Structure 1
């Protein structure tokens, strides 16, 4: 994929992909947008620029979903860290850099999508290949929807900006109702479903969104909408669209373009990227200048562990410990636990660390010299997720068969993890626990709890059992979403009202 770095007034397009799979790269100035789109390839480069805003998406999931959930007890032992307020449900999070990043990066991506879409409308006749033109429009709409969906899950109501506007015009755009934001998301994703190719035959195009990726994300949108409202203006609208989601997910399964990888570790192997599980991922190009590799692998691991092994300092600083709740949830012989979790270590100077942390994405033979240049992709949507999301739709009355589309695939997933005793029944809470074990460390847990309605019972129970240092604030339903960043609230008086429950 790609990343944009601002250097003064120049925006550099870093079109990055994984390892040797590079889309392209070209610099351009924002001031020359009108003249940039002169040949068909310029529109491809403009589309690639939108993908660049996915670079930090994995980090955001780990900071705002994994850390917020009951999977981590992220209490720092080395000074106040930005993740602590996320973990502890602080009310004064409006200046938290993780939250500011979520707003800024998503809207930057939306801006780039709007630029591309505006140029296709204005100058699209330059692209004589109508199939390519539709594909580029569909890619831009897929990504715009992706960014808006991320915003809705994090902030609830957000401003709808579906065309390029000036700074002054933006100051007159209020936050829109969540239902209205979803209308844009669904429209964009449906266009992507209808106009994106099912596969790309050129290796350099790996990492671009496909029609199957659009189906999967649209299904998750319907499922998220179908979640409870919690009496707040958050992502759940209790819309009961499980049937729509089921149809989309079932299409992915029955078309047989993806497959269940038999060995869990192989899904995340550095030498097995683009494996049959991968439906959509964020891809990185390493060894480039400027650097465009990944940063998420080390995010939850402490620096002292790396240095104790003779590896370069990464940036994880102190440990973000895994919660006792998650550690005790794994059955005996579950191979996912050993693969995903480091159970302590002996650090520099012989200091013994007994707490556990995630190592899921770390291959110690692949540690780069630069901590921002890890050579591993982040899987946004994988086939196992589709199977489990479809099972969730079935259990919520969206159609399908419990025996073949819930029990059978869940037992297949468990068998891959070394759990030989099959389940014979499954409830929504039990399914969410199976998802927890499968996707631990992948940043999905918080959104799963919110969508399923379990967050208001699971989090308080976890707090009571695991908060041994008494650091966490009492959970309220207002904390299903995050506060609007203060730097946005402060742009114009009364333009935005802060989300309830936050300072």
Structure 2
């Protein structure tokens, strides 16, 4: 799969480069129609969608882990410090870079869907459509949580079709996300051959859809998607917790039963490696982004996740280490959906539907803690206590996996702001307070300028 992504990227290079979303020149209809004319050629477009994900997840930590309350940011300057200390402006390059990469990936998905009827094999046609709609949904899910209302593009557009560049309400975008993911659940296979193990499955689609429902507080719908993934007594079936937490992130044991979906990378393979693992190192650009002191103290002494997540001596991330790889060209995959997430989402959805927590809450929560060699919850007396325990567990389990910021923005807003302000005070920044408008990022100013006034800025950033 990794090698095929590289080949597809070369094939698509002539007409799907990483240019600015709103400055994309029109793709030649002749090239499109000549190239995407059969099953094999459309499949290269599908693989190019996965290649787009590589670009997105290589930099996502700049908007998520840096911003969140599990990392500290001493001596961060420029765009790094602006993100960390809630003073980011529409001119921040990180915001533009992520936006462009996400919309480039969406454009690749739309191109596949445009020519999906040229696929003669009916099974592959359904698979390709399911994959493209999953990837497109994942990008929109991230964009809407990071930027709020954003342009919704579900088909290929001309470079000067400025009317399409206007912002669409989050509600409408979530409607499209759910529609696409329901298709993906139906169209994607339960599994792929070993050589294609990184491709989207029915289980990955169900888990992502459950996350969307959970974000929208549609808890019953979330549970319906998660139940088929759980297995007996929360032990798993097709998917299961890896007995070793550290092994999840090792380059020698990737794509275990724990992984429902990951973005794959390969070192020294014509640009198919990642740079994020190097950026977190002592020599990387993000070397000052470390596990904060308050975060480090959350882990029990026995918790095996602590040593895997950060270096106790300096706080640096240790999850994504590839000591043999060249700088900014590492082979670590990035896990997007793990079985631990399935368990904790099920616990959360169950808790919100109950008057008081029962085994549907404690069972999956304690499965995650048992693997971590952390103490078990015997009882959680109230819904509020269980909610706090689940969010804390997510913070411990998914450190440096771009999860915490998304969790913060779906929490009760007053609680989120209080949490962030308390964290800033505890990490030596008592003079910084977080206004509500900064729970989403500004729209990149250069995209607003290119839109001829159709794209409007988020309130508070004008």
Same fold (TM over 0.5): yes
Q: 1:435 to 1:318 in 2, by over 3 A?
A: closer
Alignment partner, residue 52 of structure 2: 53
Q: 1:23 to 1:283 in 2, by over 3 A?
A: farther
Alignment partner, residue 106 of structure 2: 110
Alignment partner, residue 372 of structure 2: 417
Are 1:397 and 2:394 matched, yes or no?
Answer: no
- Greater alpha carbon shift after TM alignment, 291-300 vs 414-423: 414-423
Q: 1:129 to 1:432 in 2, by over 3 A?
A: same
Q: 1:497 to 1:28 in 2, by over 3 A?
A: closer
Alignment partner, residue 348 of structure 1: none
Matches within 5 A, 1:254-403: 254=231, 256-288=237-269, 290-303=270-283, 315-316=284-285, 318-344=287-313, 355-363=314-322, 366-369=323-326, 371-397=327-353, 402-403=357-358
Alignment deviations for residues 141-200 of structure 1 (CA, whole Å, 9 cap, x no partner): 111111111110111101111111111113554111111111111111110001110101
Alignment partner, residue 14 of structure 2: 29
Q: 1:342 to 1:296 in 2, by over 3 A?
A: same
Give the alignment partner of residue 207 of structure 1, picking from 193, 198, 201: 198
Structure 1 unpaired stretches of 5+:
3-13, 227-240, 304-314, 345-354
Taking the aligned partners of 1:185 and 1:422, their CA distance within structure 2 comes to 35
Are 1:445 and 2:404 matched, yes or no?
Answer: yes
Taking the aligned partners of 2:246 and 2:257, their CA distance within structure 1 comes to 13
Give the TM-score of the pair, scaled to structure 1: 0.82
CA contact (8 A) 1:61 1:444 kept: no
What is the aligned length?
Answer: 438
Are 1:408 and 2:355 matched, yes or no?
Answer: no
Taking the aligned partners of 1:104 and 1:222, their CA distance within structure 2 comes to 26
CA contact (8 A) 2:343 2:368 kept: no
How far off its partner does 1:392 sit?
0.7
Taking the aligned partners of 1:96 and 1:459, their CA distance within structure 2 comes to 21
Higher strand share: 1
Alignment partner, residue 223 of structure 1: 214
CA contact (8 A) 1:109 1:144 kept: yes
Alignment deviations for residues 112-164 of structure 1 (CA, whole Å, 9 cap, x no partner): 1111111124xx2xx32111111111111111111111110111101111111
How far off its partner does 1:208 sit?
0.7
Taking the aligned partners of 2:100 and 2:432, their CA distance within structure 1 comes to 27
CA contact (8 A) 1:244 1:398 kept: no
Structure 2 unpaired stretches of 5+:
16-27
Alignment partner, residue 145 of structure 1: 137
Q: Please give the secondary structure, in 2, of the residue aligned with 1:193.
A: helix
Give the alignment partner of residue 86 of structure 1, picking from 78, 83, 87: 83
CA contact (8 A) 2:9 2:48 kept: no
How far off its partner does 1:398 sit?
7.2
Q: Please give the secondary structure, in 2, of the residue aligned with 1:55.
A: helix
Alignment partner, residue 245 of structure 1: 222
Q: Please give the secondary structure, in 2, of the residue aligned with 1:128.
A: coil
CA contact (8 A) 2:64 2:402 kept: yes
Give the TM-score of the pair, scaled to structure 2: 0.89
